[in-house]
Structure formats: C-alpha cells, structure tokens
C-alpha cells in the first residue's frame, strides 16, 4: 500500500504538477507535503521506552509530525497511531474513529470508570496477532490538540479503547502484555481492529 501511494505521488509530480506553478511553489515554503511513515515493529526497542513529553507543541516540527502521523494512520486504515510507532519517542498519538480525527499531545488520563469491558485488540506494530484485553469502559483525558490548545475529552466505546491502547504505547506497553489470550489472524479474519 505504501509503494502504491508513492508511485501515485511520483506520477503526480511528473505529469500533473511539475514544474510547480509559482503559486504552488510559494505555498510549499510555508506548508509541507505529508509523508507516509514506516511503522516500527514489535522487536524495536523504541516501543518499550517511555516516550518524552513534547516541549514545543505548537512548533512546525510537531505539526509536521502530526500531519504525517494522520496521513499514515489513514493510509494504513488504523484507528489510532502513537508517535513511538513511527519511530519518534514523543508523547503524541492520533485517533481516527468514525471519520473523526483527534490529536493528543502530552495526554494524561484523569479518570477511569470502575466498569470494565473485554474487547479484541490488534496492533499495527504486532503482526498477525490479536487478543481480548480488559480495560475500563470510560475515561476522561486531558491533552493538547494539534494547535497546542488544551482539551478535555470524555471518551467511551471505541475511543476509550483506542485512547488506552495508545497511552500504553507512550509508556512502552504493548497489548500483548495485557491480553487475556492471543490468537492468530486466521482465527480472527476480518474482525480485528488495528491500533
Ligand atoms: Ni498499537
């Protein structure tokens, strides 16, 4: 999928946009083209590290990283993506649930519900394995959004699930550490969600 999109972009540059008209060239100086990032896999030690807080949430570098994470998450049809999964040890994650994209920078979970629920999880960084994980049903999370502004979100359902999976990524934990049991793709074809 990654290859295909690169080819498409290259073809666009060759036939559609090259040489870029002046107006486009000017925009490019201020903005940037999003990139599809490589997803690091299970054995990579970055997935086991506690990620660092972001010191400059509004900076162009962070905005570019967030834009690339969103592009990557959408390209690979993930419902969530944490910065360590693209090789950056920062406390950032993005979610994409029912076509709503949210960005969480320096997130902190403020409250969990007592009620828990078991749900099957998979991970973009752990290939071909899924398993049920028990987690609180609801939570309240505080974070900075893509503009560096503080937000407070009450999450339930799939969002609460994804937020907790991504928070774990920021703390060096994978769902395979918490799953009640693990099974392979063949047993669970088509049902899995990738976070
Ligand atoms: Ni994951």
**Percent of the chain whose predicted confidence (pLDDT) is above 70:** 79
Range with lowest mean pLDDT among 119-128, 168-177, 185-194: 185-194
pLDDT at 10 over 90: no
Distance (Å) from CA 158 to ligand 1 centroid: 14
Phi, psi dihedral angles at 68 (to 5 degrees): -70, -35
Q: DSSP letter string over the chain?
A: -HHHHHHHHHHIIIIIISSPPHHHHHHHHHS----PPPPP-TT-GGGGSPPBPPS-TTSHHHHHHHHHHHHHHHHTT-SEEEGGGGT--BSEEEEEETTEEEEEEEEEEEEE-S-EEEEEEEETTEEEEEEEEEEES-EEEEEE-TTS-EEEEEE-HHHHHHHHHHHHHHTT--HHHH-S--EEGGGGTTT--B-
- The pTM score is 0.81
Domains of the chain: total = 1
Pair 3, 52: CB distance under 8 Å: no
Domain that holds residue 189: 3-194
Measured in angstroms, how far is the CA atom of residue 8 from the centroid of ligand 1? Answer: 27
Considering the candidates 3, 98, 166, 186, report the single residue annotated as catalytic.
166
Residues 37, 124: Cα–Cα separation, whole Å = 12
Expressed in angstroms and rounded, the spacing between residue 27 Cα and the centre of ligand 1 is 34
Residue 188's pLDDT band, with cuts at 50, 70 and 90, is low
Ligand 1 is an ion; residues with CB less than 5 A from it: 123, 195
pLDDT reading at 100 higher than 90: yes
pLDDT at residue 15 is higher than 60: no
Q: What is the CATH number of the domain that holds 83?
A: 3.90.45.10
- How far apart CA 96 and CA 81 sit, in angstroms, is 9
Token pair belonging to 64: 């570019």
CA of 148 to the centre of ligand 1 (A): 24
165 CA from centroid of ligand 1 (Å): 6
Average pLDDT of span 158-177: 98
> Has 166 been annotated as catalytic?
yes
pLDDT of residue 7 exceeding 50: no
pLDDT at 18: 44
């Amino acid at each position: 999928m990654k290859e295909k999109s690169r080819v498409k972009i290259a073809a666009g540059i060759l036939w559609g946009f090259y040489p870029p008209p002046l107006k486009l060239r000017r925009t490019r100086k201020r903005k940037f083209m999003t990139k599809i990032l490589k997803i690091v896999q299970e054995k990579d030690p970055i997935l086991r590290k506690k990620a660092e807080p972001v010191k400059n949430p509004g900076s162009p570098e962070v905005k570019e990283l967030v834009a690339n994470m969103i592009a990557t998450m959408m390209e690979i049809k993930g419902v969530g993506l944490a910065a360590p999964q693209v090789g950056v040890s920062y406390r950032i994650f993005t979610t994409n649930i029912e076509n709503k994209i949210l960005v969480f920078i320096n997130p902190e979970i403020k409250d969990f519900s007592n009620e828990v629920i078991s749900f099957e999880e998979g991970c973009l960084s752990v290939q071909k394995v899924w398993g049920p994980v028990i987690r609180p049903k609801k939570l309240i999370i505080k974070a900075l959004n893509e503009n560096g502004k503080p937000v407070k979100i009450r999450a339930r359902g799939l969002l609460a699930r994804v937020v907790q999976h991504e928070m774990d990524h920021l703390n060096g934990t994978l769902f395979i550490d918490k799953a009640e049991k693990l099974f392979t793709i063949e047993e669970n074809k088509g049902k899995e969600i990738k976070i």
